[in-house]
Chains A and B, each alone.
Chain A
């Protein structure tokens, strides 16, 4: 095949300037935040390279240079060399396990002279390229053969395993976001729904395991309500049986009210049995509908999902309360960020909530934040950088940053969908998935909604590896996008 070299001017003509603008804006805000987070009253200018902000400026300069270089490269190389690039990064991950020094229990940093790099950040775009390459191979459709799933999962889980071996759980989890890509390319939505339900049920059960209502822990009660709602929603939307759904809703409401009244009146009944019976009657009703007139697989799936949910709920509850020791329960709760642990990780979250909360509606103003300068939160310029924004820019500023990310991700999704090749589209979805995961988990952690998982906020957190990793990720997509018209001429 003859590789046509792309005309440089056309790259810049067709470059998606909206994305570039958002990128520059985010990077600029990131630099400002790091400066604010590491600012101290008696220290020098932003260009003092010994300070975090000065170092970060150098990283940003190099990142801009790298993005420019990426735009000038031939776009074919990304598809042609997808597997070699992936292989190279995998080797680098393996090497890292053995040569990296132990920094706070994790072995993920490669020290090269004056700088340290985290290969886990760079293997993100390599994994995305490999996954895109797999999907773009001839006549590849995910649902065509189970083997295709095995191949895709292998590409995703190989880096996960290696990064786990480096004891970087957070970075490894980020690769799970690629399940969004599998979903876009044909994986059943039930997989994502089931995963989401499992997480929500688990967290809810565990979070409220100690409060008791209606002879049930509040957690169980809430999950039962969720299961009831889930059954109604699935019947209505998934099975398209509006009438049946309405009947179920009425039954659940009536039954729940009766149970509540009974318990208020002081009648001692086992909540587990009562709610079990209520749900069983509902499922029986669905089964009858299935037998009588509506022989559709979706109805069976709904019943199966409800039963599985209940089984999951009971086993989580059982294992958590009976099998685990109190101190083990405590550790799980703390690591999930459920319990305030003012001595350890919870202390950071608490401090970060205070910092953000004290920002108020419009913030205290640039460099006027006091909480973020407390140095109580060790990762204030890395994982907890969002605090600085919250404190100094207030609700307006932090909401604006979130909306900027929202626009970026919508834009990336739009770019992905307009690609003529499967390769570019899948790659685009990978980019969007990583961003969704990082932004959701990082901000969620800082505002106390997610467990404390140490992953960076793209373009904001201090560190060259993360900034470079995300820049590579985004600009390779922009490079592919700028040449999308060239495919039409084939």
Chain B
């Protein structure tokens, strides 16, 4: 192989380049290590100490600017293990009112790398968290006796009321996984857990600051490095204005006491959630401070699952509250006209099948069917759509897909996108689902007829049901429900400002709303007929495998200018009219009139005092 000797010389250039670099580096090392004594002095005194400055977390107010969540100071005892010298342990324990054993356990935990992966004898470690203000004062006075120990101020959440725990959420210390996922966090930081605290964490938490301090050879702080030129002040978290009406929320929780279920109230025009009750609930103050761990475990093992937000995670059969959506679809698809009437002889009887109903006139048209909550009407309607319109849809399965798509556009079957974590999507089956169960072409309307009255496979969250009610109140559109109305210096996402239009014409909503008005004036919801307020409503009584029927109600008011749309769902409480309607109408009355009329106080009293837990499917051992 011929070699190019002119090019071979280039090895000297490449080698020479690296030689020069190595020489420069060695000179630099010499100047750093031998000539410059500054660095040795820095190292001897362990010069810098980075002190994290924690920002205050954003506060939360309700829609009427009532303070709901704020901060209170808390104090952590920090320790730099290497700097610790002999000290009077007994004195230390007495000051903090702990036992010697507890202190030893804390030391052992701190040094355990599995519990505290960031442990180093040279950096500040958290010894005891959340000491009280009194302990803080006592310790502060004696601090000079305990070298290597100092106090770091932190913030804790505090709540003005013992309500809305499921919406507000709480804060907890970050886990090793949080730190891995988001480099913002360091061990000992707090992060939102559940509720708004979690979903708006990035707004609420603010930005940590840092202070660079200089220390002398004895570890004493000598002041700020470079006059604080390198410090970064902490940025406070953004304040949040909730859409909740905290008084209404509290009232709802009182009405739901000793019952299992949920209430969701929405302002139709804005999609703002006015109240979101999940019952049983808990006091948010329980998850604050040193008692948090113990209380959290208690709540976790509680038989009635208070941490489970039934309003948006509970998927229930909607029962008869589903009927308005059926009326909408049947009208939109032109399966029925306003005058189409179906017979009801105490139920839907067809092909050996019987779905029971109660006494009312027969045959019956759409609006009266909604008024009296006739089961047979909606069974006939679905059967007509699925089985008798082959020329229009081709097959039962294809007709069913059309039916399903309308429901999805009404917000069922998928997450609505509320600004809270872990929303459930409910369940709306599709044709493939039934093909799998019954075989392709081997099912028809009669096979699945119970879905027409919100039973069977259909599942929806109280939030989805309330949202449907808001859509009817708006006569044909909704805004994705949300609990945060405003964020300081920021605009809420477009998702919570833009209207969403289902695939159904406005005129059909007008008809269904009229049917729901009739249910209040002369149908199943007569208890909701408030003086001076035109309420519209629909009851629901959902059969379920867990015991007594679930009692449900949807309603909105006033009829012509809706200010509130509501869904009440009480597990195992019987007829919709027994619990759903009274609680729903009391909530509406409270929100619109601010007080309960004297002749309805008996109803309020009865709801406040009744207990349906005893008849629930959840039996305490």
Chain A residues close to B by CB (< 8 Å) = 40-42, 103-105, 180, 183-186, 189, 340-343, 347, 350-351, 353-361, 370-371, 373-376, 390, 394-395, 398-399, 402-403, 405-406, 409-410, 413, 416-417, 420-422, 429, 432-433, 436, 439-440, 443-444, 447, 449
Q: Find the B residue at minimum CB distance from A341.
A: B230
**A184 pairs with B121, CB closer than 8 A:** no
Q: Tell me, in angstroms, the Cα distance from A41 to B30 when the chains sit together.
A: 30
**B34 pairs with A360, CB closer than 8 A:** yes
Q: Chain A nearest CB: distance from B435 CB in Å?
A: 34
B609 CB-CB contact with A under 8 Å: no
**A436 pairs with B14, CB closer than 8 A:** yes
**A417 pairs with B11, CB closer than 8 A:** yes
Q: Find the B residue at minimum CB distance from A363.
A: B33
User: DSSP class of A's interface residues: helix, strand, loop or mixed?
Assistant: helix
Which of B29, B50, B180 has the most chain A CB atoms inside 10 A of its CB? B29
Chain B residues close to A by CB (< 8 Å) = 1, 4, 7-8, 10-11, 13-15, 17-19, 21-22, 24-26, 28-30, 32-34, 36, 38-40, 42-44, 46-48, 50, 111, 118, 120-123, 180, 183, 210, 212, 225, 230, 232
Known pairs A104-B183, A395-B33, A398-B29 / 16 extra A-B pairs, C-beta < 8 Å: A41-B121, A183-B10, A186-B4, A342-B212, A343-B230, A351-B48, A357-B42, A375-B118, A394-B33, A395-B34, A406-B18, A413-B11, A413-B15, A420-B1, A432-B14, A447-B32
Q: Which 9 A-B pairs have the closest CB atoms?
A: A357-B39, A358-B43, A375-B120, A342-B230, A395-B33, A357-B32, A354-B42, A436-B18, A374-B122
Q: Tell me, in angstroms, the Cα distance from A375 to B50 when the chains sit together.
A: 12
Q: Chain B nearest CB: distance from A168 CB in Å?
A: 16
Which of A358, A360, A409, A422 has the most chain B CB atoms inside 10 A of its CB? A358
**B39 pairs with A358, CB closer than 8 A:** yes
Q: Which residues of chain A come closer than 8 Å to B48, judged between CB atoms?
A: 342, 350-351
Q: Chain A nearest CB: distance from B216 CB in Å?
A: 15
**B43 pairs with A354, CB closer than 8 A:** yes
Q: Which residues of chain B come closer than 8 Å to A402, judged between CB atoms?
A: 22, 25-26, 29
Q: Which residues of chain A come closer than 8 Å to B11, judged between CB atoms?
A: 184, 413, 416-417
**B122 pairs with A421, CB closer than 8 A:** no
Q: Which residues of chain B come closer than 8 Å to A41, judged between CB atoms?
A: 121
Q: Tell me, in angstroms, the Cα distance from A394 to B29 when the chains sit together.
A: 9
Q: Which of A104, A373, A429, A449 contacts B28 (CB 8 A)?
A: A449
Q: Chain A nearest CB: distance from B260 CB in Å?
A: 40
Q: Which residues of chain A come closer than 8 Å to B24, judged between CB atoms?
A: 449
Q: Which residues of chain B come closer than 8 Å to A420, judged between CB atoms?
A: 1
Q: Tell me, in angstroms, the Cα distance from A115 to B507 when the chains sit together.
A: 63
Assuming the contacts A370-B43, A444-B25, asked whether A390 and B15 have C-beta atoms less than 8 A apart, the reply is: no
Q: Chain B nearest CB: distance from A33 CB in Å?
A: 16
Assuming the contacts A347-B50, A353-B39, A390-B29, asked whether A406 and B13 have C-beta atoms less than 8 A apart, the reply is: no
**A395 pairs with B30, CB closer than 8 A:** yes
Q: Chain A nearest CB: distance from B326 CB in Å?
A: 45
Q: Find the B residue at minimum CB distance from A419.
A: B1
Assuming the contacts A104-B183, A186-B7, asked whether A399 and B232 have C-beta atoms less than 8 A apart, the reply is: no
Q: Find the B residue at minimum CB distance from A414.
A: B11
Q: Chain A nearest CB: distance from B57 CB in Å?
A: 21
**19 examples of A-B residue contacts, CB within 8 angstroms:** A40-B121, A41-B121, A42-B111, A105-B183, A343-B210, A343-B230, A351-B48, A358-B40, A361-B34, A374-B120, A375-B123, A390-B29, A402-B29, A403-B26, A409-B15, A410-B15, A433-B14, A440-B18, A440-B21
